[in-house]
Structure 1
Amino acid sequence: MSLPRSTPAEQGVDATGITAFVDALAGTPEVELHSLMVLRHGHVVAEQWWRPYAPDRPHLLYSLSKSFASTALGFAVAEGLVDLDATVLSYFPRFDKKIKDPKSRSIRVRDVAAMASGHTGETIDEAFAAGRGDPLLGFLRLPPEHEPGSVFAYNQPCTHALSAIIQQVTGDTLTAFLRTRLFQPLGIERYGWSPDRQGRDLGFTGLFTTTEAVAKLGQLYLDEGRWQGRKLLPAEWVAEATRAHVATAGDDPDWRAGYGFQFWRNREGYRGDGAFGQLMVVLPEADAVVAITSQSHDIPAVMDALFDHLRPALTAGSGPAGAWPVGSPELPRPAGPGRAIPTMSYRPAPDHAVGSLRKIRTRPGRLSVDRLTAPLGEPGGWTGDGPHATAYAWDGDTLRIDLIFVETPHRLHLALDPAAGTFAARWQTEPLGRDPFDRLRMPQG
């Protein structure tokens, strides 16, 4: 079930503003778009994927996962399964005797939903350590510095607590709970959520799904919880989840506008926001949604370009007739001559290893990196229609290979020296977490 398509002009959008937005980001260092969808009046008026990324390929959302977790909370509250004013601890009586601090005991569901547990900073590492692998128990063992509900701190265990509560009261993971309530009604077919050691979906990160699924969630919120005329979420929840519950600080207009229930407020509208530029921007005044996946360090530049170029175009009235230029541009790749790939193994050059990577092997048509094997095709383009894609070229006597994990934002740059039998490796953006290379993809099963 796809979203309806239209031309920009038919929905009162000036397509030149969409092009200006894309062009502005193409010239912005540290920004690499992977996909873009622009919706107005419920219709997709522009969409593009940069090869080797593709429409049907799921993409790791990082903290944009939080907005899906918030949606699960909205369903649970509407069904009377969760009380926003109940304490987190009340859902886990087995932890009662282990939690002594009165502030920890008083943290409410609404506090963790708003990133207002009373802690003053990120506690995820401490929570895993204090809980001996159970971040929920560890989180409750960490006394907040302030009264819950009084201060904002972006803190991953807050969202994980929501995942744990929903699983506790329903017996289902976030994924299973959302399947019949959100994914199936919206026609979202490709998704998966990474779990913790207790079998709970992480909640704060780890959701893989498509760009169109992100756009659909944004449209559901824009339409105040209705989907194709059917009420799914209460309009009251949409309003509550997307208003500012706690003040946020900073100089940037899109980070100081306040925080809702796992949604950021913008200078206009609100958004779900994941590391490296996974964005769902909802603009109610323009009746529009913008969904982006990317590999970007400079998110303020993305938001500035959106409000400088794209936002004015959304309500400018009809621009040029016809569809916005639809194509499949290619991401940059190693450039240079192509020649045969040697069959050999490589060890790290001094000071050039990435994490635990200690061995790379090449042979015609294949690249092996640790336990991962990826296709290695002809030079001159990207090879791979699965979760990995490669491109290569020779730079003198150095074989340069780029390996993209196309279900994530990440790219690994390799420089192989066949004469020395060594390699150098570096991430363009380093993945968050410690997953081995073969697990940098949507969970299977």
Structure 2
Amino acid sequence: MDLTQLSSAIAPVNLRSCLIQQQGKLIFEHYRRPQTFRETAKINSCTKSILSSLLCIAMDQGLLPALSTPASAFFPQLASAEDSRKQKITLEHLLTMTAGFSWTEFGGKNSFPHMTRTPDWIAYVLDQPLADEPGTRMEYNSGVSQMLSHILVQVSGMSTADFAEKYLFGPLGINHYEWETDPQGVHTGGFGLKLRPADLMKFGQLYLDKGRWQGEPLISSPLLERSVQPAIAVNDPWRGYYCWHWWADTYPGDDLSDPAASFEYFYARGFGGQFVHVIPKLDMVVVLTHDNRKNSKYPDVFRAFIAPLLIGEPVSDIR
């Protein structure tokens, strides 16, 4: 593995930060500006993976019932919905984004932006029609993430941020963050969290170390490993698989017949270039942050520039 090419390769992308850690040691560090390392910034949908970790902690504590529990146990209006299929939506369907709601996330009537302009986000989400039988298809939906944040508040009796401070942020030494809330005062489950790049690295390292931090267990290893296992294949424009509010993929493709030239990884991803990649085979975590707003034109920096170097291939050239 030779990272000497990396600085020049990623220069045209103008990343906000790029951190690579292997075996617990930082082996590559890039910041657009010197002060970036101490500034918090939006991690967008990487918030979903933070929420996933909090829900795993709640499961470990026995606060959450079995994942086969209907979501109507927390949102009674689902039990009386005109479409009886809504009664079949379970906690696991929410975690894997297979609840079946008709949703377009970034545009249209039933979308994330429209949700945020309503006085009651949960009521808006629950009122959406179903497009699919629950459990059959993944549809990216920040609304179900908000449902999960509300559920965490219900079972813990704490705000999502307070729960994070006590059981995740505090142990990891994450002292600087900002977190948005919905109109009911519940912290956003699918976006809205601001963290520093180094704190995202701590989070990734926790997952690389199977839930342990400085020798202490924060999340049980079996539950953490289950949370990042592929649950359902995704459709274009996505690639790979969705897990419990994490993504999973392989490089360079699904064929792992040549172990020396391929690897599996799982990752958190957020709009505009926020990523936490965890590569267990290489004992490595890669954190990328950016502030790119033209998401459709944003290259996959990890697959184009970093992954090839990890297996000795030439990197892509976008210049």
Please report the TM-score for the alignment, with normalisation by the length of structure 1: 0.61
Give the paired residue count.
Answer: 291
Pick the structure with more strand per residue: 1
1:275 aligns with 2:257: no
Change (3 A) 1:34 1:184: same
Q: Larger C-alpha radius of gyration, 1 or 2?
A: 1
Report the equivalent of 2:307.
307
Is the aligned partner of 1:69 residue 2:65?
no
1:187 Cα deviation after fit: 0.8
How far off is 1:197 after superposition? Answer: 0.5
From 10, 18, 28, the equivalent of 2:3 is 18
Q: How does 1:405-420 map to 2 (within 5 A)?
A: none
Where relative contact order (Cα < 8 A, 6+ residues apart) is larger, the structure is 2
Letter matched to residue 126 of structure 1: N
Asked whether the 8 Å contact 1:37–1:292 carries over to 2, the reply is yes
Q: CA deviation at 1:261?
A: 0.5
- Find the aligned partners of 1:123 and 1:282 in 2 and give their Cα distance: 26
Pairwise mapping of residues 63-102 of structure 1 onto structure 2 (< 5 A)?
A: 63-83=45-65, 84-93=67-76, 95=77, 99-102=81-84
User: 1:295 aligns to what?
Assistant: 291
**Alpha-carbon contact 2:273-2:288 (below 8 Å) kept:** yes
Matched, 1:231 2:217: yes
Distance apart, 1:132 and its partner CA: 4.8
Instruction: Describe the shift of the 1:25–1:132 C-alpha distance in structure 2 as closer, same or farther (beyond 3 A).
Output: closer
For the residue of structure 2 that corresponds to 1:38, the secondary structure is strand
| Matches of 1:303 and 1:209, distance apart in 2 | 24
Q: What does residue range 11-410 of structure 1 map to in structure 2 within 5 Å?
A: 14=1, 17-27=2-12, 31-51=13-33, 53-83=35-65, 84-93=67-76, 95=77, 99-122=81-104, 126=110, 132-250=118-236, 255-267=238-250, 268-296=264-292, 297=295, 298-309=298-309, 311-312=310-311
Following the alignment from structure 2 to structure 1, what is the Cα–Cα distance between the partners of residues 299 and 52? 22
Distance 1:283 1:123, change over 3 A: closer
Q: Which amino acid aligns with 2:6?
A: F
Distance in 2, matches of 1:299 and 1:207, equals 23
How far the C-alpha of 1:55 sits from its partner, in A, is 1.3
More helix by share: 2
Decide whether the 8 Å contact of 1:104 with 1:141 is kept in 2: no
Letter in 2 for 1:291: V
TM-score (norm 2): 0.85
In structure 2, relative to structure 1, the CA distance for the partners of 1:129 and 1:305 (3 Å cut) is closer
| Structure 2 spans left out of the alignment, 5+ residues | 251-263, 313-319
Deviations 1:34-74 (A, max 9, x none): 11211111122222211164211111100111110101110
Of all paired residues, the percent bearing the same amino acid is: 28
Cα RMSD, aligned residues only? 2.3
Return the alpha-carbon distance in structure 2 between the equivalents of residues 271 and 129 of structure 1: 26
Equivalent residues of 2:14, 2:32 under 8 A apart: no
Deviation at 1:135, TM superposition (A): 1.7
Change (3 A) 1:259 1:114: same
User: Does the 8 Å CA contact 2:54/2:163 hold for their aligned counterparts?
Assistant: yes
Structure 1 portions without partners, runs of 5+: 1-13, 314-445
How far apart are residue 139 of structure 1 and its match? 1.4
In the alignment, is the contact (CA less than 8 A) between 1:114 and 1:262 conserved in 2? yes
Q: Which residue of 2 aligns with 1:331?
A: none
